[in-house]
Amino acid sequence: MISPRLLPALLISVLFAGGALAQERRVPSSAAELRLSYAPIVQRVQPAVVNVYAAKVVQNHNPLLDDPIFRRFFGVPGQQPEQMQRSLGSGVMVDSSGLVVTNNHVIEGADQVKVSLSDKREFEAEIVLKDSRSDLAVLHLKDVHEKFPTLDFANSDELQVGDVVLAIGNPFGVGQTVTHGIISALARTQVGITDYQFFIQTDAAINPGNSGGALVDMTGKLAGINTAIFSRSGGSQGIGFAIPANMVRVVVASARSGGKAVKRPWLGARLQAVTPEIAETLGLKRPSGALVANVVSGSPAARAGLKLSDLIVGVEGQAIDDPNAFDYRFATRPLGGTAEIEIQRGGRSAKLSVPLETAPDGGRDEIVLTTRSPFQGAKVANISPAVADELHLDSDTEGVVVTDIADDSTAAGVGFQKGDIIVSVNSQKIARTSDLEKVTRAGSRLWRIQMMRGGQQINATLGG
């Protein structure tokens, strides 16, 4: 009988059964193999995993200052007290020059970022690129004149359920910690964490502070970036999620090229999930694939011949179960050239070649509204094809869209949200950001606002 203490070692034989994950997987064949250890892998990859400390200054707000009677009798203090908010996460060194990838939510809004290496040295870091759509960010260590250990990227498409993985990070701030487990699921698309919902699920223990840390395979390569857990208690309950390495690779490549935003292929079509009712109408055995609901004129999809009601079932030989799976597969294709997509049209299969190019972004005219109004603190943009793609809007949508809102701003207090489309203000049609800026500068005691949120029209009247 095998001792329970030795059971975890059963899983590590992959490393010694041929080296690469693509080779044959097998269980141990001797007692000696049961005494093998993860230590060689950990020693090799641990120096490339770092701790990330982010801090931002916030203004303390006294609710009494909102009371006009209080303000009248006691006046308004000239300077409100400030407070430093800190967050803790992990990161992975992906370039020897000091390039670190972590989660965007770890450093979001930070005024100062520090990176601590496994040897306890600390460095100031600058934010090179932030990508909220994938929840990834890239940092660069300041004033460094040395080469750092790095992790190579695995091909996350080659991972299989049951593969052994290690999670390395700084949970709860206790210091660098290694946990092990298996990949318990792939292509999780109903998680609701980022725009690109296509996660590796693992039972390797992931806790607060692990965000941005490494999920490592048995060849010592980066399989993914740990990003979230499913938990009712705040601690690990055996369901953690990691962003696949192939998506991380795209974001890091954009940072290396000097870009401030990630450039991804644009399809130019809106897709919808196949429900059981739709599957029955189409004569499908099961509800799967991505149904084309709209095609933008002149877009790569249109030029490739994609049509309304086509059912996309594959990209470059990879099966597509839903629109989230398509978004991930298409977004991780390199720009330039084409991607082959497999469709079903009228009960017949066909293959189309879609050009891999970015969405046009001319005329975005993004501005932050600063004039006293309900919109103060909101960042708004014209709906270009690129903006429509980022926010999952139809490209023919009319109006101006909210792309960001400052914390503690008037717009945040009123209840505006990212993705809200401002259609009219005080009976004036809002077609461009300049229209909305002009209306807010004119001022008003009463604001009648018509907007769209999630396809629903909202009419609101607010006092000035």
Q: Show which residues are catalytic.
A: 105, 135, 211
Tokens of 428: 């004036």
Q: Would you call 186 helix, strand, or coil by DSSP?
A: strand
**Distance, CA of 106 to CA of 209 (rounded, Å):** 9
Let me know: does 93 contact 125? Beta carbons within 8 Å.
no
- Longest Cα–Cα distance of the chain, Å, equals 84
* CB under 8 A, 24+ apart: contacts of 321-325: 321/187, 321/189, 321/288, 321/289, 322/189, 322/273, 322/274, 322/288, 322/289, 322/290, 323/271, 323/272, 323/273, 323/290, 324/189, 324/190, 324/196, 324/197, 324/198, 325/187, 325/189, 325/198, 325/290
Mapped onto helix, strand or coil, the DSSP state of residue 279 is helix
- CA 176 from chain center: how many Å? 24
Q: Could you please report the per-residue DSSP string of 285-339? A: SSS-SEEEEEE-TTSHHHHHT--TT-EEEEETTEE--SHHHHHHHHHTSPSSSEE
Is residue 170 part of an annotated ligand binding site?
no
CA 240 to chain centre: 15
Q: Residue 186: name the closest of 319, 331, 41, 25 by CA.
A: 319
132 is in an annotated binding site: no
- Whether 135 has a binding-site annotation, put simply, is yes
- Cα-to-chain-centroid distance, residue 144: 29
User: Annotated binding residue at 394?
Assistant: no
- On whether 211 is known to bind a ligand per the annotation, the reply is yes
- Neighbour-count burial of 23, counting CB atoms closer than 10 A to its CB (0-12 exposed, 13-18 middle, 19+ buried): exposed
Binding-site residues from annotation: 105, 135, 209-211
Binding-site residues from annotation for substrate: 105, 135, 209-211
